[in-house]
Amino acid sequence: MHIFHVFKLQIRPVRSNPHLVCVIGGLRITQWINSNNHHKRRLAITYAETESKRININHAKKYNFFLVFAITNINLPVAFLVLSTALEIYKKKTKKSSLLFARSKKFHVNGVSHNIRFFEPYPFVTRSAKGKFLKDIDGNKYVDYWMGHWSLILGHAHPAVSSQVKKQLPACWMHGTVNEMTVSFSEIIQKAVPVAEKIRYVSSGTEATMYAVRIARAITGKKIIAKIDGGWHGYTTDLLKSVNWPFDQKESKGIADDLHLVSMPYNDLQKSLEILNSVKDDLAGVIIEPVLGGGGCIPATKEYLLGIQEFVHKNNALLLLDEIVTGFRFSFGCLYKTMGLDPDIITLGKIVGGGFPIGVICGKDKIMDIVNTNSHTKLDRSYIGGGTFSANPITMTAGRAMLSHLKKNSGSLYGKLNALGESARKELTRVFDGKVVTTGKGSLFMTHFLSSGISEIQSAQDASKCDTKMLQRYHFDMIAKDEIFFLPGKLGAFSAVHSQSDLKDLVVASQRFAATI
Ligand code: PMP
């Protein structure tokens, strides 16, 4: 038996199956593959691919990869490193999920209850979650960077929250009357977010932004709301426009009126002001995220936000700052303070609910007064604030526990989280060697695979022109092979339970993926 010298290893994707990679080496096959002789080259490549596929199917049942030295029937020494495809690995290890998800599809449209939770071929089904891990019903354990739509900044089932919720449960989880914890929770929020002179709680971010829009229209007596291309504020009919690329197409049937919504490009002050100027007489408000989350994890420049604010206030409209993702994410409080902004309304959600359903509308007294049903008649009030489960005892307890813990640990906790995010952006950009830009801020980060001549990401337009399929492939590859979970195509978030060693694992997984593209 010969031991062949593995010479000049080459990694080649297999043409018939983009998930399959073969690594070929050996002096003659390398020479043949690199040669100008078309026939020899075809023969060598075809043989390598056929052999990889055969070996993959027959032998790679158990392992993600293995190395095989073979003498081919055309007498070429070849070394194959055969990798099972991510799809094959995933399917093999999520058999119970596959069956359960097939059942789920019988009851639920697309099998899910939030559109983005579906990914091909089917999402695994989670059984439990603790700390940094998600565990599925097949027993796989994933290091989680999705963290409950980025709401779980302390990780899953953190004792600081669960202990308080457990204490509250025997007393009551729902009564629909006033409770004490709402008051102490609001005290904490108001100290950290001075704009929150008055607060209303609801059960989702969507409700909060819907009410913010209604208040803006009620106060100004005007109708038009401006939003950002790629800005996502939940499923409220009022804001369902220009969310997904291409932004000039309607998002949905069934929207009776989106004429009172205009959309502008993020971080492009000149264009945005032109658009605002064209509607200024009927402009009720601008709703904007200080970091565009769903639209590509892109921070706004301070100049952009200040420029928009100046225009809005000069033209008797309201600045609605959506901090549902950014609130309590980078420091104990909101981002607006650090940017010198003076918003009229802030919406919060996600983190502040401690992992329970929440939306918060915060505003200055003079703004929020319009929702006061005692001092206003039907004709001059804005009617907001329903919700069977608004300010329910469990959410209020969990939110208060979350913010109390964050406040107590804010120095070390935010320092660590922001540093992890900073390193991730640097490391991932390095690993992909000019093929990506990693955007984000603090502990939020997202890898964009550059294409269409894009070299920097300032807006959702830029992000949408990148290779979003490659991003999904990258995330799916890590789910299958590395047990690292990002919701495919979405930004990732570090939480308090992640460490430097998780970052190292993420970098190694990314290096392995980078070698295949
Ligand atoms: N605003 C922003 C910025 C969001 O990211 C989201 C949710 N991803 C929402 C609003 C809607 O929140 P919810 O899903 O709780 O309705």
Q: Would you state the pLDDT for residue 56?
A: 46
Give the closest residue (by CA) to ligand 1 atom 2: 233
Q: Would you state the pLDDT for residue 516?
A: 82
Q: Are 210 and 383 in contact (CB under 8 A)?
A: no
CB 149 less than 6 A from any atom of ligand 1: yes
How sure is the predictor about 26, in pLDDT bands with cuts at 50, 70 and 90? low
**Alpha helices, H only, 315-451:** 365-368, 393-408, 410-431
CB 308 less than 6 A from any atom of ligand 1: no
Q: Would you state the pLDDT for residue 49?
A: 60
Joined together, the tokens standing for residue 453 give: 């001549």
What residues form DSSP beta bridges with 261? 225
Answer yes or no: is pLDDT of 408 > 70: yes
CB 227 less than 6 A from any atom of ligand 1: no
Q: Would you state the pLDDT for residue 60?
A: 41
Q: Would you state the pLDDT for residue 386?
A: 94
Q: Would you state the pLDDT for residue 38?
A: 77
Cα dihedral: 310, 314, 315, 317 (round 10): 60
What residues form DSSP beta bridges with 347? 322, 361
Q: Would you state the pLDDT for residue 11?
A: 56
CB 231 less than 6 A from any atom of ligand 1: no
Average pLDDT, the chain: 90
CA atoms of 466 and 288, how far apart (whole Å): 23
Q: Would you state the pLDDT for residue 36?
A: 74
User: Which is it for strands 283-288 and 224-228: parallel, antiparallel or unpaired?
Assistant: parallel
Mean pLDDT of 456-474: 97
Residue that wins the pLDDT comparison between 452 and 219: 219
Q: How far is the CA of 389 from the centre of ligand 1 (A)?
A: 18
Q: How far is the CA of 514 from the centre of ligand 1 (A)?
A: 32
Q: Write the Ramachandran bin of 445: left for phi over 0, alpha for psi from -120 to 50, otherwise beta.
A: beta
CA atoms of 212 and 288, how far apart (whole Å): 12
Mean pLDDT of 448-463: 96
| Global pTM value | 0.87
Give the 3-state DSSP-derived string for 231-253, with helices as H, strands as E and coil as C.
CCCCCCHHHCCCCCCCCCCCCCC
Lowest-pLDDT range of 143-152, 250-259, 345-354, 389-398: 250-259
Q: What one-character DSSP code corresponds to residue 49?
A: H
Q: Would you state the pLDDT for residue 3?
A: 32
Q: How open is the CA angle 194-195-200, to the nearest 5 degrees?
A: 110
Sign of CA dihedral 234, 425, 448, 475: negative
Q: Which of 370, 368, 346, 372 is nearest to 359 (CA)?
A: 346
Q: Which of 400, 320, 322, 329 is nearest to 364 (CA)?
A: 320
Q: How far is the CA of 325 from the centre of ligand 1 (A)?
A: 7
Lowest-pLDDT range of 72-81, 165-174, 377-386: 72-81
How sure is the predictor about 58, in pLDDT bands with cuts at 50, 70 and 90? very low
Q: Would you state the pLDDT for residue 85?
A: 83
DSSP 275-324: HHHHTGGGEEEEEE-SEETTTTSEEPPHHHHHHHHHHHHHTT-EEEEE-T
- Residue range 351-376, pLDDT digits in tens: 999 999 999 999 999 999 999 999 99
Residues near 104 by beta carbon (within 8 Å), at least 6 away in sequence? 111, 112, 125
CB 238 less than 6 A from any atom of ligand 1: no
Percentage of the chain lying above the pLDDT 70 cut: 85
Give the 3-state DSSP-derived string for 124-178, with helices as H, strands as E and coil as C.
CCEEEEEECEEEECCCCEEEECCHHHHCCCCCECCHHHHHHHHHHCCCCCCCCCC
CA atoms of 448 and 471, how far apart (whole Å): 7
Ligand 1 atom closest to residue 231's alpha carbon, by position in its atom list: 3
Answer yes or no: is pLDDT of 5 > 90: no
Choosing from 350, 356, 360, 444 the residue with most ligand 1 atoms within 8 A of its CB, the one to mutate for a pocket test is 350
Residue that wins the pLDDT comparison between 235 and 70: 235
Q: How far is the CA of 205 from the centre of ligand 1 (A)?
A: 5
Mean pLDDT of 87-114: 96
Q: Write the Ramachandran bin of 127: left for phi over 0, alpha for psi from -120 to 50, otherwise beta.
A: alpha
CB 77 less than 6 A from any atom of ligand 1: no
Answer yes or no: is pLDDT of 20 > 80: no
- Residue range 295-308, pLDDT digits in tens: 999 999 999 999 99
Q: Would you state the pLDDT for residue 517?
A: 85
Lowest-pLDDT range of 164-173, 282-291, 300-309, 376-385: 376-385
Joined together, the tokens standing for residue 267 give: 């971080």
- The HSE-up count of residue 26 (CA atoms within 13 Å, CB side) is 24
How sure is the predictor about 88, in pLDDT bands with cuts at 50, 70 and 90? confident
How sure is the predictor about 84, in pLDDT bands with cuts at 50, 70 and 90? low
Percentage of the chain lying above the pLDDT 90 cut: 81
Answer yes or no: is pLDDT of 50 > 90: no
Residue with tokens 């043989």: 47
Helix (DSSP H) and strand (DSSP E) numbers for the chain: 16, 20
Q: How far is the CA of 474 from the centre of ligand 1 (A)?
A: 25
Q: Would you state the pLDDT for residue 48?
A: 61
Q: Are 435 and 517 in contact (CB under 8 A)?
A: yes
Choosing from 232, 292, 326, 444 the residue with most ligand 1 atoms within 8 A of its CB, the one to mutate for a pocket test is 232
- Residue range 120-134, pLDDT digits in tens: 999 999 999 999 999
